[in-house]
């Protein structure tokens, strides 16, 4: 692992930056130099002619690592010594070793999906990162995972789905252990911004936070920092982006990335590429959501550029790309060689852009921050868990059960109701209302009346639980959990495996605050929620909207 990689927080040496601190938001992305207009314009190429060829997309940063693996690493080698040299460039960090989400179930052909978490670190742990990242007072401070994106490759390798998460999403962060110091960070009692997960035990903790939220088992991670973005953008030779008006990201108070572009399409690279990826002031409404859209455009444009640019046949350029890609990455130990990255690339490049669907986690505002949008976020996560293509082109499946219940009946036979122990928890609290007093006891009485005398109420309130679920810890209890669901009239889709419980556990959610009958589940049409802002990877017509206050 490199000297500047993620460490645990050491008192007196590192300071965790919290969202409420003065200057935190702006300095993270837009404290750079950026004032020299000529410098901002350097390295830019514009197409001539009456109608420039458009290669535009949207979606988020740091597919860089994956894209380079797709088209570069397999052809960049020049003998064993060079191969070993590239392997030596790659830094690694371990995946978490406990409290993981359950592994995906193989399809009929025995294939399983592949899930990769892509992380963009804001670390100021080197002179180069400090120069690019600004915020001098945070030099060598605890890094933040300010870009997070889950890439899901379907089991049959026919399609790919991507979910990005806003950096200021509020979540309860899980217990994590720093792999180097051994320091244990307890689970947070309140909600914290998801980007803080990186400083609580490295990328493995960010993996755990995603798994806890989504229930999706993550197989690998890839992480890159500021300097890595710039070096790879330079090596590629530029990426086309588009704005619908002239833009200069700099206001009267000096805030902004310094990005200055003319209306239309422009090739950007180097520090100008980083300016684009960091720009918030000037894009759309000035929020992180607008910034994410600009990052998304850059990512999709890079994919198409690498696929279509014939100059990549140049051996010298390929070698440079291989050098920059392997030097910029920090990966899990399952991707610690060029061969492993190349094997991964062969999996990824089988998917054409038209079968790639880019999404943002459905969210809603909580003050200046965001949280997963009730209903829509969980639906998106479920579609990915179930390996359903988000582009709507998957083969239709006959739902099992009723009322839109797509759950699958367990092969494990259930015990007699009188033998099944069930712990009942009260998860009826919401962000705006308190938990219903005595709700766990009421549902426990209901269960006992249905022949489950071993049902017992947990008197402590559970965390916020949007919908009622029944969790079980291992396969031998799945049939028992499904039997409890059936007795209450809950769909099989409400039953899920979880390592956070030790037995069959019923968590009464905010959707069942009163009455003896749980709400009838809405019929699921299997479509990606509109709030996920889905975009097909082959879309080349997108152009960033410029705030009129930042045009020239």
DSSP string spanning 280-309?
-TTBTTSSHHHHHHHHHHHHHHHHHHHHH-
Where residue 220 falls among pLDDT bands split at 50, 70, 90? very high
Are residues 362 and 430 located together in one domain of the fold?
Answer: no
Please check whether residues 78 and 222 belong to one and the same domain. yes
Whether 188 maps to a domain, the answer reads yes
The answer as to whether 82 is a domain residue is yes
Q: Are residues 349 and 489 in the same domain?
A: no
Tell whether the model's pLDDT for residue 199 goes beyond 80.
Answer: yes
**How far, in Å, CA of 552 to CA of 548, rounded?**
9
Q: Are residues 387 and 452 in the same domain?
A: no
Mean pLDDT for 31-45 is 39
Looking at the chain, how many residues does it have? 552
Domain boundary among 489, 508, 527: 508
Q: Give φ, ψ of 117 to 5 degrees.
A: -95, 120
CATH number at residue 370: 3.40.630.190
Rounded Cα–Cα distance for residues 77 and 82 (Å): 6
Over range 76-86, report the average pLDDT: 70
Nearest-angstrom CA–CA distance, 9 and 178: 9
- Within this chain, do residues 491 and 357 fall inside the same structural domain, yes or no? no
Please tell me whether residues 362 and 471 are part of one structural domain.
no
Kindly state whether residues 367 and 453 are assigned to the same domain: no
Domain for residue 11, yes or no?
no
Residue 456 shares a structural domain with residue 341:
no
Considering only residues 311 and 472, tell me which one the structure prediction assigns the higher pLDDT: 472
Print the domain residue range for 453.
Answer: 417-508
Contacts of range 130-139, beta carbons closer than 8 Å, 24 or more positions apart: 132/32, 132/226, 132/227, 132/230, 132/271, 132/274, 133/28, 133/31, 133/32, 133/226, 134/27, 134/30, 134/31, 134/32, 134/33, 135/23, 135/27, 135/28, 135/31, 138/15, 138/17, 138/27
Whether 82 and 320 have beta carbons less than 8 Å apart is answered as no
pLDDT confidence of residue 69? 47
What is the predicted pLDDT for the residue at 393? Answer: 81
Q: What is the pLDDT of residues 349-380, one digit of tens each?
A: 788 878 888 888 999 998 889 999 988 998 99
Cα–Cα distance measured from residue 478 to residue 492, given in angstroms and rounded to the nearest whole number: 10
Distance CA 461, CA 445 (A): 17
Pairing of strands 114-121, 220-224: parallel
Domain boundary among 508, 527, 546: 508
How many Å apart are CA 115 and CA 90, to the nearest integer? Answer: 20
Beta strands in 406-550, from DSSP E residues, in sequence order: 422-426, 455-461, 469-472, 495-497, 505-508, 535-536
**CB distance 505 to 471 below 8 Å:** yes
In the numeric block, which tokens belong to residue 388? 């359903």
| Residues 330 and 384 occupy one common structural domain | yes
* Tokens encoding 61: 């940063």
436 closest CA partner among 447, 420, 425: 425
Please check whether residue 194 is in contact with residue 218, taking contact to mean a CB–CB distance below 8 angstroms.
no
Is 385 in the same domain as 449?
no
Whether residue 171 has pLDDT greater than 60: yes
* 502: region left, alpha or beta (phi > 0 left; psi from -120 to 50 alpha): alpha
Q: Does a structural domain hold residue 492?
A: yes
Q: Rounded distance, CA 550 to CA 552, Å?
A: 7
Whether the pLDDT of residue 395 is over 50: the answer is yes
Residues 201, 96: Cα–Cα separation, whole Å:
9
For residue 148, being part of any structural domain is answered with yes
Q: Which structure tokens are listed for 266?
A: 């422009």
Query: Given this model, what pLDDT does residue 524 score?
Result: 65
- The average confidence (pLDDT) of the chain is 78
Per the CB < 8 A criterion, the answer to whether 371 and 464 are in contact is no
Q: Determine the pLDDT at residue 318.
A: 66
Please report which confidence band the pLDDT of residue 122 belongs to, taking 50, 70 and 90 as the band edges: low
Q: Are residues 317 and 464 in the same domain?
A: no
Q: What are the φ and ψ backbone dihedral angles of 328, each rounded to 5 degrees? A: -85, -20
Query: Which of the listed residues 472, 493, 508 is the one where a domain comes to its end?
Result: 508
How many domains are contained in the chain? 2
For residues 436 and 428, give the distance between their C-alpha atoms in angstroms, rounded to a whole number: 6
> 529 CB contacts (<8 Å, ≥6 apart)?
362, 375, 376, 379, 380
Report d(CA 359, CA 58) in Å as an integer: 10
Q: State residue 42's pLDDT score.
A: 39
Which segment of 42-56, 186-200, 202-216 scores lowest on mean pLDDT?
42-56
Tell me if 80 is assigned to some domain: yes
* 421 in the same domain as 325: no
Provide the 3-class DSSP secondary structure of residue 211. helix
At 23 the pLDDT is 28
List pLDDT tens digits, range 476-508.
999 999 999 999 999 988 998 888 889 999 999
**Domain presence at residue 537:** no
Res. 213 pLDDT band, cuts 50 70 90: very high
- Is this prediction's pTM over 0.85? no
| Residue 454 is assigned to a structural domain of this protein | yes
Give the CATH number of the domain where residue 458 resides. Answer: 3.30.70.2390
More confident residue, 44 or 305: 305
């Amino acid at each position: 692992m490199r000297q500047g990689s993620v460490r645990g927080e050491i008192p007196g040496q590192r300071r965790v930056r919290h969202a409420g601190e003065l200057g935190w938001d702006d300095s993270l992305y837009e404290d750079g130099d950026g004032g020299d207009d000529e410098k901002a314009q350097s390295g830019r190429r514009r197409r001539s002619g009456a109608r420039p060829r458009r290669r535009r997309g949207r979606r988020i940063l740091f597919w860089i690592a994956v894209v380079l693996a797709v088209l570069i690493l397999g052809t960049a080698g020049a003998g064993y010594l060079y191969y070993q040299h590239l392997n030596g460039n790659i830094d690694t960090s371990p995946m978490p070793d406990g409290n993981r989400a359950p592994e995906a179930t193989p399809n009929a052909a025995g294939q399983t999906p592949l899930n990769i978490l892509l992380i963009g670190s804001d670390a100021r742990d080197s002179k180069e990162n400090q120069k690019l990242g600004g915020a001098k007072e945070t030099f060598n401070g605890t890094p933040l995972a300010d870009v997070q994106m889950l890439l899901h490759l379907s089991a049959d390798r026919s399609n790919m789905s991507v979910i990005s998460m806003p950096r200021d999403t509020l979540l309860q962060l899980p217990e994590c252990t720093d792999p180097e110091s051994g320091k244990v960070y307890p689970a947070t009692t309140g909600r914290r911004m998801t980007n803080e997960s990186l400083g609580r035990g490295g990328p493995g903790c960010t993996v755990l936070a995603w798994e806890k939220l989504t229930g999706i088992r993550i197989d690998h991670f890839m992480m890159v920092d500021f300097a890595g973005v710039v070096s790879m953008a330079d090596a590629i030779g530029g990426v086309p982006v588009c704005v619908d008006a002239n833009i200069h990201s700099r206001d009267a108070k000096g805030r902004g990335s310094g990005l200055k572009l003319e209306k239309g399409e422009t090739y950007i690279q180097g520090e100008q590429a980083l300016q684009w990826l960091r720009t918030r002031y000037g894009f759309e409404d000035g929020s992180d959501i607008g910034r994410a859209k600009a990052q998304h455009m850059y990512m999709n444009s890079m994919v198409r550029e690498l696929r279509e640019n014939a100059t990549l046949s140049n051996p010298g350029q390929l070698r440079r790309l291989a050098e920059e890609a392997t030097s910029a990455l920090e990966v899990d130990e399952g991707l610690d060689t060029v061969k492993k990255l190349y094997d991964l690339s062969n999996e990824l490049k089988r998917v054409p852009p038209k079968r790639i669907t880019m999404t943002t986690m459905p969210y809603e505002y909580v003050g200046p921050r965001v949280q997963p949008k009730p209903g829509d976020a969980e639906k998106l996560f479920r579609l990915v868990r179930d390996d359903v293509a988000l582009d709507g082109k998957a083969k239709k499946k006959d739902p099992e059960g009723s009322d839109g219940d797509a759950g699958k009946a367990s092969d494990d036979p259930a015990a007699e109701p009188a033998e099944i122990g069930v712990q009942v928890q009260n998860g009826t609290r919401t962000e705006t209302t308190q938990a219903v007093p005595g709700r766990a006891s009421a549902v426990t009485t209901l269960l006992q009346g249905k022949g489950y005398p071993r049902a017992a109420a947990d008197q402590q309130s559970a965390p916020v639980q949007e919908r009622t679920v029944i969790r079980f810890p291992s396969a031998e209890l799945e049939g028992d959990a499904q039997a409890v669901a059936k007795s209450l009239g809950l769909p099989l889709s409400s039953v899920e495996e979880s390592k956070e419980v030790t037995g069959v556990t019923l968590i009464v959610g905010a959707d069942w605050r009163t009455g003896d009958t749980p709400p009838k589940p809405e019929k699921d049409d299997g479509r990606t929620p509109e709030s996920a802002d889905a975009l097909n990877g082959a879309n080349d017509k997108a152009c960033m909207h410029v705030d009129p206050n930042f045009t020239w």
